[in-house]
Structure 1
């Protein structure tokens, strides 16, 4: 072991070996900043969180919504109005026709109402906590948490979605009371729809998180987030189902992950997919989850290099 330097002799250019003894009075300069490309290399990979505490983070996300009971009640009231308007609009669009492009009036109204309720749950106004954490300067603390930033954010976002379930459920119940939503053709379709919906929620969580990482490159994210929200609603078929789109546009949208988020599960619910087509659709959803995870990891690796934690 080398001899310790005299007290007060350290200066910014000195190198201190980790094995050396340093007296409490010695000053060791850690540098003006920490390069996250090196300092955060020890962090766990996004796919390897400690699962024991994630339930608590889900509760944190849920409480961030449920604590504002007035907003929750207003959201429920708005959902009831939206369901009523959706029913009136599509009933007017069909006019005297019973079917359009092979889709019955009742199928279309059911689809539109369920799509509105689903979008309300999976696309809240603040669908990721990352932009706010960056603005508040708390992202450095999040990076050294044992769960990792990715798992922490996904857990919080999942909690936010769970807390918004009462809003979507209220819309579905109101539609059932109005006789505007048809049940699935049979129990098999119901189970397939539940499976597809679980995959769709996973895709929405991953896409929301990936897009929210734009905050690592720009502090003003209002514009990009608005474009994403509108684009997601249109490309996913939540506003207009792919059945009614031009064939060339529908073919393009089928190559994007958004249609697997809304159009696929609701097509199953409506009975428009069956047999091998149904199995392929669910397989495509699972494939999109793998692809989006890969894209998320790539974006995350680039975003991490943008972080500089000031210290001294």
Structure 2
């Protein structure tokens, strides 16, 4: 249902991926200017940086759809009453819907990807292990991201409207996840903050593994951090839901 909802308005659906190509073009222009004909900065070559920016932008479109969750609308319209009658738990329903919305981006990304690589740049993985590590990290990163959006959406039980909160969250998450600037270029204090928060597990970790900026035993540690955040956020979502369902008022029955 989430998949079908996300693809219902095809014009809007496809337009978001036209902006992806524009974003990649602008990011390439910015990083080319930053490097200013230098072969590398901080041990990272321009080709690697452009490949990072391209992959991170494509990945961000997959992991961060609009809307991110059906919860706010269902709360405003009172449809949570129906959701609570279903034999599947409310959080499981909403998480499944969110994953469906995110997966709806795959067909458009498949079409846009060749053009994105042409506009930006690509770098082949150094080994099959890089592909395996990236695939696992991407899946875990998607779960972390969806749990974050699930918790954010539950705020609707208190505020009804979450657009402003969602905008602030997206701005902070896009920066701290390394989707705009990789963590290796962030100053010490900000980098330390980003490493303490779960956002880096959604974007930076998969791309860094793919580009061999995270190698060997560090890959296992990075995947372990992602698993840790999945457990922590799952518990936090259950806690927030235990409080949110107390605010449900059903009239007429």
TM range (shorter): over 0.9
Cα shift at 1:110: 0.9
- Tell me the distance in 1 between the aligned counterparts of 2:24 and 2:109: 10
User: Could you tell me the TM-score, scaled by structure 2's length?
Assistant: 0.95
SS in 2 for 1:154: helix
Check the 8 A contact 2:54/2:120 in 1, yes or no: no
SS in 2 for 1:305: helix
Residue of structure 1 equivalent to 2:180: 239
- Tell me the distance in 2 between the aligned counterparts of 1:219 and 1:176: 40
SS in 1 for 2:250: strand
Cα shift at 1:120: 1.2
Q: Structure 1 74/178 Cα, relative in aligned 2: closer, same or farther at 3 Å?
A: closer
Residue of structure 2 equivalent to 1:291: 232
SS in 2 for 1:278: helix
Counterpart pick for 1:124 among 65, 69, 76: 65
Residue of structure 1 equivalent to 2:36: 95
- Tell me the distance in 2 between the aligned counterparts of 1:82 and 1:182: 19
Counterpart pick for 2:13 among 38, 49, 72: 72
Deviations 1:91-144, CA, capped at 9 Å, x for gaps: 122111111111111111111111111111211221000000011111111111
1:114 equivalenced with 2:73 (yes/no): no
Alignment of 1:200-215 (within 5 A): 200-215=141-156
Deviations 1:161-205, CA, capped at 9 Å, x for gaps: 111123333443223335711121111111100010000001111
Check the 8 A contact 1:62/1:156 in 2, yes or no: yes
Q: Structure 1 266/281 Cα, relative in aligned 2: closer, same or farther at 3 Å?
A: same
Residue of structure 1 equivalent to 2:125: 184
- Tell me the distance in 2 between the aligned counterparts of 1:100 and 1:237: 17
- Tell me the distance in 2 between the aligned counterparts of 1:235 and 1:204: 13
Counterpart pick for 2:109 among 154, 168, 182: 168
1:133 equivalenced with 2:74 (yes/no): yes
Structure having the higher helix fraction is 2
Check the 8 A contact 1:131/1:212 in 2, yes or no: yes
Check the 8 A contact 1:114/1:172 in 2, yes or no: no
1:258 equivalenced with 2:199 (yes/no): yes
Check the 8 A contact 1:75/1:167 in 2, yes or no: no
- Tell me the distance in 1 between the aligned counterparts of 2:18 and 2:192: 37
Alignment size in residue pairs? 253
- Tell me the distance in 1 between the aligned counterparts of 2:178 and 2:107: 23
* Aligned-residue RMSD, C-alpha: 1.4
- Stretches of structure 2 that go unaligned for 5 or more consecutive residues are none
- Tell me the distance in 2 between the aligned counterparts of 1:265 and 1:277: 12
Check the 8 A contact 2:70/2:98 in 1, yes or no: yes
SS in 1 for 2:181: coil
